[in-house]
Chains A and B, each alone.
Chain A
Amino acid sequence: MAFDTTKFARDSRRMDWQDLDFASFRTDPLPPETLRCLRYMCDIEFHTVCYMRDMLMTPSQVDGEVNTFMTIWNREEYWHGEALAAVLGEHGITVDYDALKATRLRAGWKDKLAPVRQALAGMLVGADFIAVHMSWGAANEWSAAAAYQRLAAMESHPALSPLLRRIAKQETRHVAFYASQARRRLERSRKAQLLTRYALRKFWGPVGSGVMPDAEVTHVMGHLFAGAAGGEQIDRIDGHIGNLPGMKGLTILRDAFRSRRIPLGAH
């Protein structure tokens, strides 16, 4: 079913947490490994704008539907960052704009030249390059939604778990956009399928791996997707990606975990 961007825009709300009992974090604080994951997730939500920038360097920018989605999506992700920053704040961890800037600066010229690479690839490949971005975005959003659901289930905290489920719910709507766009663009072009398959297999990494230090990526992914339940989630996401036209048999998450030596549960 086609994604209704007008409805998405009209229904969009900033993430709300005022009704949740954040005082419970004082009596029932989160363990350090969870806080480390939340810090990672918070940073990534705030860095969404960098991914949006790369997306805007593809020919997709003239598409009004894409522009509408990007505008609303970027704001929702910003509010996910704010919500997670509020949780971290309850534990004495301050997420300020200067620290976020420092993370972006650490990426150096690799980050600065990313839009140049995207623009060149977009020019060489043409409109089919948008399919790569949409499929990539779908993989990222599936991963993000799964990560929030996993952490909500693992912690079972009266304030954190409902917050994470709310975030996951919004991420699921983002998945719907990316997956429907990817499917539509892949269905009509064999070239787009081949290119997307190559790009995902060769270059895709866990969400955040482009900006965060490797040690953080390994820790967070290992923590969130540990055990048999984590392994099942990974396989489920790989299954979703494999269901996109021309992507059958791809196991990019499992491959990415394996190449980073992150332990995985049952296959």
Chain B
Amino acid sequence: MTGAIGSDDAVRALDARLRAHASAADEVHDPIEYPTAPVANPQFAAAVRAVARLERSTIPRLRRMLVSPTHLDARLTAFFSTWAYERYWIADRLDQLGAAHAGDGTAGIPADGAEPPVDRAALRRDRRERVWLLGTAIATNLVGPPMVAVHVLQCLVDEWVLDEVYAALTAEVPDDRSAEVVADIRRVKAEHAEILRLAFALRLPERGNGRRLVALALRRIGWPADAGLGAAHLRALRRLVRGDPGSLSRITERINALGLGGYRVALLAPRRSTVLRIRRVK
């Protein structure tokens, strides 16, 4: 199986974009200041804390990708350096929004903070995942380059769903200062999605088993991918995703523009560990 071979121009354009993205990453992370203290809004606080948990799950996600052939792709690993950095600070900004609007300090979802305490459940989850990664490392390296396309696709779909989630946050943001913060985050996220889209186009195998494998992986994507989310996180995310009836069709349109066949994005019933699934349209 082989990976896609992109034109030299497309590769050069991606390289230039990667370097511009790395250079443009904001390095000033002063605390968010409000002209007047925000009014308590526990629902908004819970929502931003749930999204913060997703943004903070970058390192476990990187681990899953780096044990595979994806770690050989120096373009992607260069992108991941800035991507992880920006997501780290996005989570920090969201935590600040959560703290400012929590009111009583809980909002149904406690704040994670940059360095949440390690509990037994997290240790057990980590151990289980490391066992799973042993097999994954061998299997994905046997499959080879199509796995890189699969990983980029998973990240891309995640960014597309998050784009809708941030749009929902924008719709319910309670004050101008918070609106500016969310708008800044959306600008950064839009660049992540665009780079991933360009990278995916260059890595999607043109035909054969590799392409079929990527299509199969697309059907297996569930959102959110495991980020150690509790029931309250999932409730908050489900509420954001279903808030705008057009959000699922917009994600579906983007997925169907990938050229991997027809799909639809389905909202799953409450109490499931994922909010969305991608289904093949026969």
Please report A residues at the B interface, Cβ cutoff 8 Å. 5-6, 9-10, 12-14, 46, 49-50, 52-53, 56-57, 59, 61-65, 67-68, 70-72, 74-75, 77-79, 82, 96-98, 100-101, 104-105, 109, 112-113, 115-116, 119-120, 122-123
Contact = CB atoms under 8 A, between A and B. Distances in A.
Bin the interface of chain B by size: 35 or more
B215 interface: no
B133 A50 contact: no
Contacts of A52: 62, 66
Given A53-B66, A97-B15, A115-B67, 4 more contacts: A5-B115, A62-B122, A68-B115, A123-B131
A105 B58 CA distance: 25
Contacts of A98: 74
B81 interface: yes
B119 to A, nearest CB: 9
A111 B131 CA distance: 19
A65 B78 CA distance: 22
Nearest to B122: A62
Contact of B71 (A12, A49, A63, A71): A49
B37 interface: no
A59 B123 contact: yes
A133 to B, nearest CB: 14
Contacts of A72: 85, 88
Q: Which of B22, B58, B81, B126 has most A Cβ within 10 Å?
A: B81
A14 B133 CA distance: 32
B118 A64 contact: yes
Contact of A116 (B63, B71, B138): B138
Contact of A57 (B25, B133, B138): B133
B2 interface: no
Contacts of A6: 114-115
Contacts of B103: none
A123 B59 contact: no
B27 interface: yes
A52 B77 CA distance: 11
23 contacts: A46-B77, A50-B66, A52-B62, A53-B71, A56-B63, A57-B130, A61-B60, A61-B126, A63-B115, A65-B115, A68-B114, A71-B84, A72-B88, A75-B84, A77-B81, A78-B78, A78-B82, A96-B15, A97-B74, A101-B73, A104-B72, A112-B141, A119-B137
